[in-house]
Chain A
Amino acid sequence: MIRSLDDFERQAQEKGPKKMAVLAPEDEEFMLAVKKSWERGYIEPVLIGDEQRIAQAAAKAAFDLSPFAKITGGDLQGISDLGIQMLFAGTAPIAGKGQIPTSYIYRSIIRAEAKAGSGMTVSVVTFWEIPGCDHLVAFTDTGVNIIPDLKAKGEIIKNAVFAYRLLGFPRPKIAVLSGQREVGGRLASYEDYEALQKAAAAGDFGPCEIVAATSFTEIFLGGRDRKMDYRRLPEAALPHILLVPCLDTGNIICKLDFFLDVNRSSLVATSRGPVCIPARSDFSDNIVQQIAMCVVLADRMGKEVL
């Protein structure tokens, strides 16, 4: 059972190295992360992109690229398509994004899923490691669906449940988040919660449970009529998965690690394997953690799914 980001790093050393299609590693920080991941035995990179810019980033990171395969890509969308095709063809069990806008990667994945006929809705899962919490907490969808409707939310839940089951939790608990509060009437996000809870109870999303809480107040205090006490906040009571109402909410909250005492790690779980999608503002140590997570999940997907 994986309970922390350290668990991913420990297991990545055992399960690696895995081939990773590295897309446009043209930034020193990202290249440094690729270097560290290689040195730790997590990955064997296949570098795709502009040869000159890759060489410049490698020089800055003092990384000798001579042992690795390199593929010269065209424009950024072409590079993205090529890497995702490698993932779907089974040539590389992981793909990882460098200096490419994430929307290009999502476009490539959506096209590849459609071509593969998987029927899978593409979504992003962002794990938080929170002090005092005995498990990772997964926010989703933090990257793709701008304002998901009820059907899309159901698919997003299925993806997250699948990813969470790979961590070794057979029946994850889910909170469907909403800004529903004492004023303002009924929000669409709250109505979605009610519908999703019924669907989950009927088994529509596989083994999981949607808890009766839509706000952090309810999750932490047990209700909205309880007394607030900073000394008694049961982090361990957090559900495993937090479904956010929309992309704005997900992205804004999940990147609070720049401010709060939490660690963040994100991925896209495609039907063929994980895609590592660090933010362009992430630093190398954080990116290494995200790569380690993808290595472990790729290993587990290989055993469970393929």
Chain B
Amino acid sequence: MLNSFQDILTAAKQGGVKRLAIPEPKAADVALATAAAGAGLITPCFVGDAGAIKAQAAAVTLREGDYELWEEKDPGRALMRALTAVRTGAADIVLQGGAAPGDFVAALQDRETGLGSKGALVSYVSLYQLRKREKLILVTDTFLNNRPSLVEKQQILANALQLARLLGIETPQAAVLAAIEQVNPGIPSTLDAAILAKMGERRQFGKAVVEGPLDIDCALSKEAAGRKGVHSPVTGNVDVYLVPEIDTGHLLAEALVFFGGMQTAGAVLGTTKPAVLKLPFVTEENRLVEIALAALIAGKGGGNG
């Protein structure tokens, strides 16, 4: 089981070198790709203005033979070329690079020209390394889906459970979060949570334990849950936290970083091949972990959809 970011890096290295397509790379992307190549994770495949990329590579002492360069001066075309390369197998992973976040996500989700696929929902999961014990937790969706419907939540949860299994958690335990632990018809998140928990009970998520609704104190503390009359193997030992919507998801993801000092890395799930986004509160060191995680996903047959 992979219990830390270091475990992810180690496992990814053992899986062999992957080809990372990077459209319109900025200096920070070239530096990151250089670090990832140096760690034995990837071979960078830069797509963009050759002159600019060569200068950036030279600045971080990345030798010409250690990367591929696909000339494409038009930024929009560079992004599409990078995605096409990944879709057709010429590359294994795509990095956001210099593409604008909105453009990148829209292009990524396209079923024809990007990495979206029919029946799959593209979602985002934030991983955290616990500080007091060796364990990784997953929080989803923290970036991509604004107000997911019940069906979309089902897919978001399924995506995260699949990643949890990839990390070696045989029977992942999921908390479907809401404001309160009781089912209250006035609070829609509690209804969705109850339905998802029932689906979990009927094995609709495969080998997993899904509990909900759970408020955060019940999810985090078995003792607190017990005092509220909630008795479940999930309480106090959650692997996957499913949030109700993006206000909660994104702010929770940030709160764990800024108030908790927790290290975080993220992954795009539900695509046919792995992609790596750039979030403002992920450090460069942890972006390396994101590439390693994408490499692990690629090694397991491509995407996570």
Residues of A within 8 A of B168 (CB): none
Separation of A183 and B178 alpha carbons in the complex (Å) = 24
- B259 with A130: CB separation less than 8 A: yes
Which residues from 233 to 249 on chain B have a C-beta closer than 8 Å to any C-beta of chain A?
Answer: 243-249
A-contacting 9-mer, from B14-22, B211-219, B288-296: B211-219
A279 CB within 8 Å of chain B:
yes
Residues of A within 8 A of B245 (CB): 179, 246, 248
Chain A residue at minimum C-beta to C-beta distance from B103: A183
Given that A146-B186, A247-B179 are contacting pairs, would A280 and B227 also be in contact in the complex, using a CB cutoff of 8 Å? yes
B-contacting 9-mer, from A39-47, A199-207, A228-236: A228-236
Residues of A within 8 A of B255 (CB): 216, 253, 256, 260
- A260 with B260: CB separation less than 8 A: yes
A184 CB within 8 Å of chain B:
yes
A252 CB within 8 Å of chain B:
yes
A-contacting 9-mer, from B33-41, B58-66, B81-89, B278-286: B278-286
Residues of B within 8 A of A259 (CB): 216, 220, 260
Separation of A35 and B187 alpha carbons in the complex (Å) = 35
A68 CB within 8 Å of chain B:
no
Given that A179-B250, A252-B177 are contacting pairs, would A258 and B189 also be in contact in the complex, using a CB cutoff of 8 Å? no
A110 CB within 8 Å of chain B:
no
- A281 with B227: CB separation less than 8 A: yes
B-contacting 9-mer, from A16-24, A49-57, A219-227, A295-303: A219-227
Chain A residue at minimum C-beta to C-beta distance from B142: A179
Residues of A within 8 A of B119 (CB): none
Residues of A within 8 A of B217 (CB): 255, 258, 279, 281
Which residues from 171 to 219 on chain B have a C-beta closer than 8 Å to any C-beta of chain A?
Answer: 177-180, 182, 184, 186-187, 189, 215-218
- B218 with A281: CB separation less than 8 A: yes
- B248 with A249: CB separation less than 8 A: yes
A29 CB within 8 Å of chain B:
yes
Chain B residue at minimum C-beta to C-beta distance from A224: B280
> Shortest CB–CB separation between residue B241 and chain A, in angstroms?
9
- B248 with A225: CB separation less than 8 A: no
A–B pairs, 12, beta carbons within 8 Å: A103-B184, A178-B251, A179-B248, A183-B102, A216-B281, A246-B247, A248-B247, A258-B217, A258-B220, A279-B217, A281-B218, A281-B225
Residues of chain A at the chain B interface (Cβ within 8 Å):
27, 29, 101, 103, 130, 146, 177-179, 181-185, 187, 189, 215-217, 219-221, 224-226, 228-230, 233, 244-253, 255-256, 258-262, 279-281
Besides A230-B261, A247-B187, A253-B216, 20 new A-B residue pairs in contact (Cβ under 8 A), listed by A number: A177-B247, A178-B247, A179-B146, A179-B249, A183-B102, A217-B280, A219-B258, A225-B280, A228-B282, A245-B247, A248-B244, A250-B179, A251-B180, A252-B179, A253-B251, A253-B252, A255-B217, A279-B217, A279-B224, A281-B218
